[in-house]
Amino acid sequence: MSQDYRLQQGGQIDRQQILNFSFNGLALQGYAGDSLASALLANGIHHVARSFKFHRPRGIYSAGEEEPNALLETGEGARRVPNNRATMVPLQEGLTAKSQIGWPSLEFDLGRSLDFSHRLWPAGFYNKTFKWPSWHFWEGMIRRMAGLGRAPDEADPDHYEQTNCHCDLLICGAGPAGLIAALVAGRSGLQVIIADQDEQFGGSLNWDSCLLDGSPAGAWLATCLNELQALPNVLLLPRTTVSASYDHQVATLLQRGHNPAWRECLWTVRSRATLLATGAIEQSQVFPDNDRPGIMLAGAVRHYANRYAVAAGRRVVISTNNDSAYQTAFDLRHHGIEVAAVIDQRPAVPAAMLQQQHDLGIVVYPAAQIIATCGSKRLRGLCMQQAGKRQRLQCDVLAVSGGWAPRLHLLCHARGSLQFNTQGQAFVPGKLPRGFAVAGGAAGDTTLAEVFTRTETSTIRLCELLGASARHVHQPRVSPDNLQSPEVASIPLQASRKRQWLDLAHDVTLGDAKLAVREAYTEVEHFKRFTTTGMSVDQGKTGNINAFLALSSITGRAIEDIGTTTFRPPYTPVTLGALAAGHTGEDYQPKRILAAENTHRSLAACFEDYGGWQRPDCYPRKGESAEQAIHREVLRVRSCLGVYVNSPIGKIEVRGPDASEFLHRMYMNKVHGLAAGHCRYGLMLNEGGVLIDDGIIIRLAEDHFLLNTTSGGASRILGWLEEWSQTEWPRLQVLIDDVSAQWANFTLAGPRSRELLQQLDSSIDFSAGALPHMQVTQGEIAGLQARVNRISFSGELSFELNIAASCANEFLQLLLQKGEALGITAYGIEALMTLRLEKGYMHVGSDTDGETIPDDVGWGQAARQKSEDYLGKRSLARAASAEPHRRQLVGLLTLQPEMAMRAGGHFLPASVKRAPAETQGWITSAAYSPVLQRYVALGMLRGGRARLGQTVQVYDAGRIYPVKIVPSCFVDPINQRMRS
Amino acid sequence: MLIIPCPWCGPRDLTEFRYGGEAAVNRPLSPEHCSDAEWANYLYYRNNLKGPQLERWVHAWGCRQWFELQRDTATHAIIETRPSAAESDSLLADSS
């Protein structure tokens, strides 16, 4: 095929530069400057898609982002993009495009059977039909049938960017209105950003045939762009869609790459004012069989002819309810394309229009309507009716115009209001949000001369509001005089047995609208959801108004009372790549690296992400599996000596005369009685009595505390302390200081840990008498200032050594080197979790959840004994907190030692033989204990403490097995080892 | 996308702040004397106004100070901000 439909002359294409591309495997050619859609049309291809629901053949309908039909898959492999609108894809050498629906092929689609049986599938059929056995049973099949493209199989290889900026005025749209506004504002010295979604600036000037100052519009456009480019205070962003506007004058802009370094860039622009110069979208027409390939918007047919030198067809019929489509007839005629007729639904066609068409020799049928069309994969003709008389017309393109709807989506994002304009049969701006102005077609202007004058005036006013003085600019004289009136006629709906489409993209018909009303979905938002009109990729850009008018007509309510559905961002789809720019893969979130990272690496640690921290899970030696390494590390700690890096633990210092009082209120445990130099385990509750963190309260001096929090809770607990200190008890004199990053923390655990410390050069007496369990001391170790706490999470004799983070590598190496003779091992989080599980120590967040109160985990008595108030105390006095059937922490053992348990298994009563059944709780932690040589677990079981010694069943992924309920401590229940 | 004027640091982007709920939710002076209903009222019941509402915010990625802010919940217009006025100090008042 060789561009049979390309006009001999004209267009903004470079005929010297031929581009090869393919569509469904067919090799085709187009020119530089083409869009994919214009290149397809140049090759005579209209039928590019099948419809969403009925699999009817569909063709290219529009020339812009409003396209409802031509959604294609472009590119291959990692760069395959689904749902790309052919109208918005610039043609490139080697571009591959495929249609998305149709099996086995676009031409022969078995799914078409749905169309032949369409009476079985009205709106809402799937809500009613696919309930048995469940929606999920059918979902896969239905999604395949609907076929909205395939995501790429591979990770996106391209780079995306994000950027932020401020400006005085953001102009959305660079058509005639936007450009005049940019000239006015640019010359006034304001910082201006002007963005347009098109490949090139100019908007309708790129496809209008009018003359400006007696020359083709391109000449004026070039002068205007030259001036704007030369202004340092004006930023021009072509290929950039203003996709959303948000509160406080923020807009997001998606810029498609012309820079090879990145594919797309997401701009966040904060402007003092926003001017919408977004133009208007031509609306479709509702008549029987209005969806065949070859039926297109009249403006689009003109667009393809004037801008791309493409004849959409050989013989065109135009159908309209307004004046604008006459320009299409005029332009097509100028290009030598046959215009068979203009079918005007209006009873009274303006005399000037009739005269003009008469002069061109085009037949106009006033007060006529289309009652049928024919042609399956391409329109062949239509049948119209005028004054009761029917007439057949042959044509291969039917250009329709149902009026123009201002593009006001951004206004609605910012919560401006719309009002219905009866004259134009469209919604126009009502109440403008603060800082917003609207100009040009978006404000309802219809003629170019009107656009220029009114935009200039409103921009001058806007500049003055922004504190700049603006002057008049030269307005180009428009010729020939545009005769177009803004009047759009309201056309009654036809009663036809044939289907009349309201929404092409989602296959919503007038019959569906009537059904919705019969089923009482008469509010516009309900109506939309029941029929799904306007809910596809195009968001009803060409069909919404017709759908609302249909609802108005069926219900007999005025369109003003019906209103519109809500416009939500984004205006057109935004890629996930752009939204995630800079935050993918390794850069997903900032990584927190341990101070002794290098030493861990040298020990071949397996790293894992824990809330951003990159922490060693275990340290496998040569030939060891991770599991073997964990078991070795656990056994070594129990029998000898291990070192664990605990640096991410939260370390918060609280000082001041009221520090003790403040913490006494913040912790469930008593703080007042804690002597300086001593440590105490502490639970923190929220005001609902629920456990939010645990840790160690260390009293360094009378007015100086150091709190250890969980690693994951470090920043949250810091904020929690600050919140209460600042907002509820500001008169308490306390100073809260986060020192987590300043101190590295190494835990030496195991029976030989004291022996190692005593070999180090230190001022500290590590003997049991001088530093017993749960006490703290400060001094020097190997020349470093150190805080040493006797705290144990493993159940072994254990010392937590805090030293300056900057010396972490050297210190860890020293411990490993000195400990070598004693048999030291480094142990990771997995071993620590096994050790604490053997000891029966809960891990807040794993064993507890958002319902756990102290009594559930065995701390009820301590909570009750503290007489003074503390956070959460009152909630513990509720009857529900004393309820005996609450889930309580228990230990669990399998009946046979070799049987495994996993966290997440649910408890079922002994009488239950199969799931589903009401759960009695679940296993919260489980691991193989190398000491006991069997699995041990903790779980939260309903009324668990009263059930010690009994068995309970566990349901785990289809398997049910019994476990024994035991006390939660499996190793050294009398705490002899850690006190040694 | 709001710009919030921190009383200490000036206008900053929303992403630097954390929302802390409605302001003027005072902790009962003696919780132990509250009925369950009064305590539940303090814990869970909020006015959820449409229109100007007094709120607590904290400049978490800035000066870390809590402050009060009046915001129109329907339009997101920020009417005023001021340093935290909370001086209720329930337990101290109780014990002194």
Backbone angles phi, psi at A329, to 5 degrees: -60, -45
pLDDT the model gives residue B92 = 40
Tokens of A118: 């369409």
Report the Cα–Cα distance between both ends of chain A, in Å, rounded.
Answer: 91
**End-to-end Cα spacing for chain B:** 45
Q: Does B41 touch chain A (CB under 8 A)?
A: no
Q: Chain A 511-540, CB below 8 Å of chain B: which residues?
A: none
Interface of A with B in 705-724 (CB under 8 A): 719, 722-723
Mutate which: B89, B91, B94, B96, vs A, most A CBs within 10 A = B91
A874 touches chain B (CB under 8 A): yes
pLDDT, position B95: 40
Residues of chain B positioned with their CB less than 8 A from the CB of A878? 36, 39
- A672 has a chain B CB within 8 A of its CB: no
Rounded to whole angstroms, how far apart are CA atoms A287 and A517? 20
B12 touches chain A (CB under 8 A): no
Which residues, 6+ apart, have CB-to-CB distance to A60 below 8 Å? Answer: A37, A40, A41, A46, A48, A67, A69, A70, A86, A87, A293, A296, A300
How many residue pairs bridge chain A and chain B with CB atoms within 8 Å of each other?
Answer: 72
The total number of residues shown for chain B amounts to: 96
List C-alpha distances in Å: A819 to A752, A755, A758, A979.
Answer: 9, 9, 11, 21
Which residue in B has a C-alpha nearest to residue A877's C-alpha?
B32
Asked if the Cβ–Cβ distance from A247 to B88 is below 8 Å, we say no
The answer to whether A719 contacts B60, with C-beta atoms less than 8 Å apart, is yes
Choosing among A728, A881, A883, which should be mutated to test the B contact, i.e. which has the most B CBs within 10 A? A728
Min Cα distance A569 → chain B (Å) is: 14
DSSP A363-389: -EETTEEEEEEE-SSS--EEEEEETTE
Query: pTM score, two decimals?
Result: 0.90
Chain A CA closest to residue B95: A868
Task: For residue B85, give the chain A residue with the closest CA.
Answer: A727
pLDDT of residue A914: 81
Pairing of strands A735-738, A650-655: antiparallel
Interface probe, candidates A667, A869, A871, chain B, greatest B C-beta count within 10 A: A869
Distance, CA of A786 to chain centre: 47
Mutate to test the interface with A, among B66, B73, B79 (most CBs of A within 10 A): B66
| Sign (positive or negative) of CA dihedral A313, A314, A315, A320 | positive
Q: Using a CB-CB distance cutoff of 8 angstroms, which residues of chain A are in contact with residue B2? A: 247-248
Q: In what order do the strands lie in the sheet with B78-83?
A: B18-22, B52-58, B66-72, B78-83
When CB atoms are compared, the residue of B32, B43, B66 closest to A726 is B66
Q: Which one, of A8, A56, A58, lies nearest residue A37 by Cα? A: A58
In this complex, which of A730, A874, A875 lies closest to B87 when CB atoms are compared? A730
Residue contact B43–A732, C-beta within 8 A: no
In this prediction, residue A147 carries a pLDDT of: 63
B76 vs A247, A722, A726: nearest CB: A247
**Predicted ipTM?**
0.92
CB contact under 8 A, B66 and A722: yes
B45 vs chain A: nearest CA distance in angstroms? 13
What mean pLDDT comes out for the span B18-29?
Answer: 93
User: In this structure, what DSSP letter does residue A934 have?
Assistant: E
CB contact under 8 A, A874 and B32: yes
Q: In this complex, is the C-beta atom of A878 within 8 Å of any C-beta atom belonging to chain B? A: yes
Question: Any chain A CB within 8 A of the CB of B37?
Answer: no
Say if B30 is an interface residue toward chain A (CB within 8 Å). yes
With an 8 Å Cβ cutoff, is A657 touching chain B?
Answer: no
Q: What 3 state SS string does A787-836 have?
A: EEECCCCCCCCEEEEEEEHHHHHHHHHHHHHHHHHHCCEECCHHHHHHHH
Cβ distance of B1 and A877 shorter than 8 Å: no
Tell me whether residues A727 and B56 touch, CB distance under 8 A.
Answer: yes
- In this prediction, the residues of chain A whose per-residue pLDDT falls under 50 are 1
Identify all chain A residues contacting B84, using CB atoms and an 8 Å cutoff: 726-727, 730
Concatenating the DSSP letter of every residue in chain B gives --EEEETTTEEEEGGG-EEEEES--PPPS-GGGS-HHHHHHHHH-----SSEEEEEEE-TTTT--EEEEEEETTT--EEEEEE------HHHHHH-
CB contact under 8 A, B3 and A248: yes
Is the CB of B58 less than 8 angstroms away from the CB of A873? no
CA–CA gap between residue B82 and residue B7 (Å, rounded): 6
Q: Which residue has the tokens 């402050």?
A: B67
Are the Cβ atoms of A688 and B91 closer than 8 angstroms? Answer: no
Task: Name the residue type at position A560.
Answer: E
The predicted pLDDT at position A271 comes to 97
Name chain A contacts of B31, Cβ cutoff 8 Å.
869, 873-874
Q: Chain B residues with CB inside 8 Å of A688's CB? A: 43
* B-contacting residues in A 805-824 (Cβ below 8 Å): none
